[in-house]
Chains A and B, each alone.
Chain A
Protein backbone atom coordinates (compact mmCIF):
# COMPACT_ATOMS: atom_id res chain seq x y z
CA UNK A 1 0.00 0.00 0.00
CA UNK A 2 2.76 2.37 1.02
CA UNK A 3 4.73 1.51 -2.06
CA UNK A 4 1.87 2.19 -4.46
CA UNK A 5 1.17 5.47 -2.61
CA UNK A 6 4.70 6.65 -3.16
CA UNK A 7 4.56 5.69 -6.81
CA UNK A 8 1.32 7.60 -7.19
CA UNK A 9 2.79 10.76 -5.68
CA UNK A 10 5.88 10.46 -7.84
CA UNK A 11 3.64 10.29 -10.88
CA UNK A 12 1.67 13.31 -9.71
CA UNK A 13 4.89 15.27 -9.12
CA UNK A 14 6.11 14.38 -12.62
CA UNK A 15 2.77 15.48 -14.06
CA UNK A 16 2.83 18.75 -12.14
CA UNK A 17 6.39 19.40 -13.30
CA UNK A 18 5.51 18.66 -16.93
CA UNK A 19 2.49 20.95 -16.64
CA UNK A 20 4.46 23.80 -15.09
CA UNK A 21 7.19 23.48 -17.74
CA UNK A 22 4.57 23.57 -20.43
CA UNK A 23 2.99 26.65 -18.87
CA UNK A 24 6.35 28.39 -18.75
CA UNK A 25 6.59 28.42 -22.48
CA UNK A 26 2.99 29.35 -22.96
CA UNK A 27 2.69 32.19 -20.46
CA UNK A 28 5.66 34.47 -20.99
CA UNK A 29 4.92 37.63 -22.91
CA UNK A 30 5.44 37.25 -26.68
CA UNK A 31 9.07 37.94 -27.63
CA UNK A 32 10.48 38.01 -24.11
CA UNK A 33 14.13 36.95 -24.33
CA UNK A 34 15.86 34.93 -21.62
CA UNK A 35 19.61 35.55 -21.41
CA UNK A 36 21.33 32.91 -19.35
CA UNK A 37 24.50 31.91 -21.14
CA UNK A 38 26.54 33.45 -18.33
CA UNK A 39 24.23 34.90 -15.65
CA UNK A 40 23.59 31.85 -13.51
CA UNK A 41 27.12 30.54 -13.91
CA UNK A 42 28.22 33.86 -12.39
CA UNK A 43 25.74 33.55 -9.53
CA UNK A 44 22.93 35.90 -10.57
CA UNK A 45 19.43 35.29 -11.87
CA UNK A 46 18.94 35.03 -15.65
CA UNK A 47 18.09 38.24 -17.50
CA UNK A 48 14.61 38.71 -18.96
CA UNK A 49 14.57 41.19 -21.85
CA UNK A 50 11.03 42.37 -22.69
CA UNK A 51 10.81 43.31 -26.37
CA UNK A 52 7.34 44.85 -25.87
CA UNK A 53 8.54 47.35 -23.29
CA UNK A 54 11.41 48.50 -25.47
CA UNK A 55 9.50 48.73 -28.74
CA UNK A 56 7.07 51.20 -27.18
CA UNK A 57 10.07 53.48 -26.62
CA UNK A 58 12.47 52.67 -29.45
CA UNK A 59 12.19 51.39 -33.01
CA UNK A 60 13.83 48.04 -33.76
CA UNK A 61 16.54 49.83 -35.71
CA UNK A 62 17.99 51.57 -32.64
CA UNK A 63 19.17 48.36 -31.00
CA UNK A 64 19.49 46.13 -34.05
CA UNK A 65 21.54 48.64 -36.00
CA UNK A 66 22.99 51.39 -33.83
CA UNK A 67 23.71 49.19 -30.81
CA UNK A 68 24.81 46.17 -32.81
CA UNK A 69 22.45 43.53 -31.46
CA UNK A 70 22.29 40.58 -33.86
CA UNK A 71 18.75 39.44 -34.52
CA UNK A 72 19.40 35.94 -33.25
CA UNK A 73 19.23 34.59 -29.73
CA UNK A 74 22.65 33.53 -28.56
CA UNK A 75 24.49 35.46 -31.28
CA UNK A 76 25.31 38.38 -28.96
CA UNK A 77 27.95 37.52 -26.46
CA UNK A 78 26.96 40.02 -23.78
CA UNK A 79 28.58 40.25 -20.37
CA UNK A 80 28.59 42.88 -17.63
CA UNK A 81 32.03 44.18 -18.61
CA UNK A 82 30.77 45.10 -22.08
CA UNK A 83 27.68 46.75 -20.59
CA UNK A 84 29.80 48.75 -18.15
CA UNK A 85 32.02 49.76 -21.08
CA UNK A 86 28.94 51.23 -22.73
CA UNK A 87 28.31 48.50 -25.26
CA UNK A 88 25.05 46.62 -25.93
CA UNK A 89 22.55 47.37 -23.10
CA UNK A 90 25.10 49.82 -21.71
CA UNK A 91 24.51 52.18 -24.64
CA UNK A 92 21.32 53.27 -22.89
CA UNK A 93 21.39 51.65 -19.44
CA UNK A 94 23.98 54.04 -18.08
CA UNK A 95 21.88 56.42 -16.00
CA UNK A 96 21.62 58.73 -19.02
CA UNK A 97 19.01 57.37 -21.45
CA UNK A 98 17.72 54.66 -19.10
CA UNK A 99 18.46 53.62 -15.54
CA UNK A 100 21.96 52.39 -14.86
CA UNK A 101 23.58 49.11 -13.96
CA UNK A 102 23.24 49.54 -10.20
CA UNK A 103 19.70 48.13 -10.32
CA UNK A 104 20.81 44.54 -10.90
CA UNK A 105 17.51 42.91 -10.00
CA UNK A 106 15.42 44.79 -12.56
CA UNK A 107 17.09 42.88 -15.39
CA UNK A 108 18.35 39.83 -13.52
CA UNK A 109 14.82 38.84 -12.62
CA UNK A 110 14.33 35.41 -14.21
CA UNK A 111 13.57 32.14 -12.49
CA UNK A 112 16.71 30.09 -11.86
CA UNK A 113 17.26 27.37 -14.43
CA UNK A 114 15.70 29.11 -17.43
CA UNK A 115 17.30 28.36 -20.76
CA UNK A 116 18.51 31.11 -23.09
CA UNK A 117 15.96 31.69 -25.80
CA UNK A 118 13.06 33.73 -27.07
CA UNK A 119 9.74 32.99 -25.36
CA UNK A 120 6.06 33.22 -25.90
CA UNK A 121 6.20 32.51 -29.63
CA UNK A 122 3.66 30.67 -31.69
CA UNK A 123 5.14 27.34 -30.74
CA UNK A 124 2.88 24.78 -29.18
CA UNK A 125 3.82 23.10 -25.94
CA UNK A 126 3.41 19.66 -27.43
CA UNK A 127 6.06 17.39 -28.88
CA UNK A 128 5.91 19.14 -32.26
CA UNK A 129 7.23 22.65 -32.56
CA UNK A 130 4.16 24.13 -34.22
Chain B
Protein backbone atom coordinates (compact mmCIF):
# COMPACT_ATOMS: atom_id res chain seq x y z
CA UNK B 1 0.00 0.00 0.00
CA UNK B 2 2.80 2.31 -0.74
CA UNK B 3 0.44 4.44 -2.77
CA UNK B 4 -1.21 5.77 0.37
CA UNK B 5 1.91 6.39 2.25
CA UNK B 6 1.59 9.61 4.10
CA UNK B 7 3.68 12.46 2.85
CA UNK B 8 5.69 14.17 5.49
CA UNK B 9 3.63 17.14 6.48
CA UNK B 10 5.02 20.61 6.25
CA UNK B 11 5.23 22.72 9.34
CA UNK B 12 1.70 24.17 9.75
CA UNK B 13 2.73 27.52 11.21
CA UNK B 14 1.02 30.55 9.72
CA UNK B 15 3.46 32.84 8.03
CA UNK B 16 3.65 36.19 9.75
CA UNK B 17 5.61 37.77 6.96
CA UNK B 18 2.60 39.73 5.71
CA UNK B 19 1.72 41.06 9.14
CA UNK B 20 3.59 44.33 8.66
CA UNK B 21 1.73 44.85 5.40
CA UNK B 22 -1.63 44.44 7.11
CA UNK B 23 -0.64 46.75 9.90
CA UNK B 24 0.65 49.35 7.45
CA UNK B 25 -2.61 49.19 5.58
CA UNK B 26 -4.55 49.92 8.78
CA UNK B 27 -2.05 52.61 9.66
CA UNK B 28 -2.54 54.40 6.35
CA UNK B 29 -6.30 54.19 6.74
CA UNK B 30 -6.20 55.91 10.11
CA UNK B 31 -3.60 58.40 8.95
CA UNK B 32 -5.84 59.44 6.10
CA UNK B 33 -9.11 59.59 8.04
CA UNK B 34 -7.72 61.32 11.07
CA UNK B 35 -8.53 64.96 11.54
CA UNK B 36 -6.22 66.37 14.10
CA UNK B 37 -8.08 69.65 14.50
CA UNK B 38 -9.32 71.64 11.58
CA UNK B 39 -9.75 74.80 13.57
CA UNK B 40 -8.32 76.35 16.64
CA UNK B 41 -11.05 76.35 19.20
CA UNK B 42 -11.15 79.54 21.18
CA UNK B 43 -14.01 78.42 23.40
CA UNK B 44 -14.45 75.48 25.71
CA UNK B 45 -16.26 72.55 24.21
CA UNK B 46 -17.77 69.82 26.30
CA UNK B 47 -20.44 68.46 24.01
CA UNK B 48 -23.53 67.14 25.83
CA UNK B 49 -24.91 63.66 25.31
CA UNK B 50 -28.25 62.71 23.85
CA UNK B 51 -29.95 59.61 22.53
CA UNK B 52 -32.07 60.67 19.56
CA UNK B 53 -29.25 61.59 17.23
CA UNK B 54 -29.76 62.11 13.55
CA UNK B 55 -27.04 62.14 10.98
CA UNK B 56 -27.05 64.68 8.22
CA UNK B 57 -26.54 63.42 4.72
CA UNK B 58 -25.02 66.38 2.99
CA UNK B 59 -21.99 67.71 4.78
CA UNK B 60 -21.45 70.65 2.47
CA UNK B 61 -24.63 72.26 3.77
CA UNK B 62 -23.36 72.43 7.32
CA UNK B 63 -21.75 75.47 8.90
CA UNK B 64 -20.47 75.38 12.43
CA UNK B 65 -20.97 77.71 15.34
CA UNK B 66 -19.13 77.06 18.55
CA UNK B 67 -20.55 78.46 21.74
CA UNK B 68 -18.86 78.29 25.10
CA UNK B 69 -16.76 80.00 27.69
CA UNK B 70 -13.58 81.45 26.13
CA UNK B 71 -10.46 79.50 26.91
CA UNK B 72 -8.44 82.66 27.22
CA UNK B 73 -10.49 84.36 29.90
CA UNK B 74 -7.93 87.11 30.35
CA UNK B 75 -8.43 88.29 26.80
CA UNK B 76 -12.07 87.52 26.10
CA UNK B 77 -13.73 87.46 29.52
CA UNK B 78 -15.57 84.59 31.11
CA UNK B 79 -18.99 85.05 29.58
CA UNK B 80 -19.97 82.53 26.85
CA UNK B 81 -18.97 83.65 23.36
CA UNK B 82 -19.77 82.54 19.84
CA UNK B 83 -17.00 81.36 17.54
CA UNK B 84 -17.52 81.24 13.81
CA UNK B 85 -14.65 80.04 11.64
CA UNK B 86 -11.59 81.32 13.47
CA UNK B 87 -12.86 84.36 15.28
CA UNK B 88 -15.16 85.19 18.13
CA UNK B 89 -18.15 87.17 16.98
CA UNK B 90 -20.97 88.91 18.77
CA UNK B 91 -24.62 88.08 18.22
CA UNK B 92 -25.47 90.90 15.74
CA UNK B 93 -22.67 89.74 13.41
CA UNK B 94 -24.26 86.32 12.98
CA UNK B 95 -26.61 87.47 10.22
CA UNK B 96 -23.66 88.64 8.14
CA UNK B 97 -21.76 85.43 8.82
CA UNK B 98 -24.75 83.29 7.77
CA UNK B 99 -25.04 85.25 4.53
CA UNK B 100 -21.34 84.72 3.81
CA UNK B 101 -21.66 80.99 4.44
CA UNK B 102 -24.77 80.81 2.33
CA UNK B 103 -23.10 82.56 -0.60
CA UNK B 104 -20.52 79.79 -0.72
CA UNK B 105 -23.20 77.17 -1.42
CA UNK B 106 -24.58 76.41 -4.86
CA UNK B 107 -27.70 78.42 -5.54
CA UNK B 108 -30.11 75.50 -5.41
CA UNK B 109 -28.99 74.51 -1.91
CA UNK B 110 -29.03 77.92 -0.27
CA UNK B 111 -32.33 77.39 1.47
CA UNK B 112 -31.10 74.17 3.01
CA UNK B 113 -28.18 75.60 4.96
CA UNK B 114 -27.88 73.91 8.33
CA UNK B 115 -26.14 75.43 11.30
CA UNK B 116 -24.50 72.89 13.53
CA UNK B 117 -24.31 74.44 16.96
CA UNK B 118 -21.60 72.95 19.08
CA UNK B 119 -22.53 74.23 22.48
CA UNK B 120 -20.71 73.64 25.71
CA UNK B 121 -22.68 71.88 28.45
CA UNK B 122 -22.26 74.72 30.90
CA UNK B 123 -23.74 77.44 28.72
CA UNK B 124 -27.09 78.81 29.83
CA UNK B 125 -30.09 79.21 27.56
CA UNK B 126 -29.86 83.02 27.45
CA UNK B 127 -26.96 83.37 24.99
CA UNK B 128 -28.25 80.40 22.99
CA UNK B 129 -31.65 81.98 22.49
CA UNK B 130 -29.96 85.22 21.40
CA UNK B 131 -28.07 83.26 18.75
CA UNK B 132 -31.23 81.49 17.68
CA UNK B 133 -33.05 84.79 17.33
CA UNK B 134 -30.27 86.01 15.03
CA UNK B 135 -30.44 82.79 13.02
CA UNK B 136 -34.16 83.35 12.59
CA UNK B 137 -33.42 86.88 11.40
CA UNK B 138 -30.94 85.45 8.90
CA UNK B 139 -33.54 82.87 7.86
CA UNK B 140 -31.20 79.97 8.58
CA UNK B 141 -33.72 77.95 10.48
CA UNK B 142 -32.31 74.45 10.25
CA UNK B 143 -30.31 73.98 13.40
CA UNK B 144 -28.47 70.93 14.61
CA UNK B 145 -27.63 70.69 18.30
CA UNK B 146 -24.40 68.73 18.02
CA UNK B 147 -24.24 66.00 20.62
CA UNK B 148 -22.58 62.68 21.18
CA UNK B 149 -24.35 59.40 21.66
CA UNK B 150 -25.27 58.13 25.08
CA UNK B 151 -25.34 54.43 25.79
CA UNK B 152 -28.78 53.57 27.07
CA UNK B 153 -28.87 50.78 29.58
- A and B interact: no
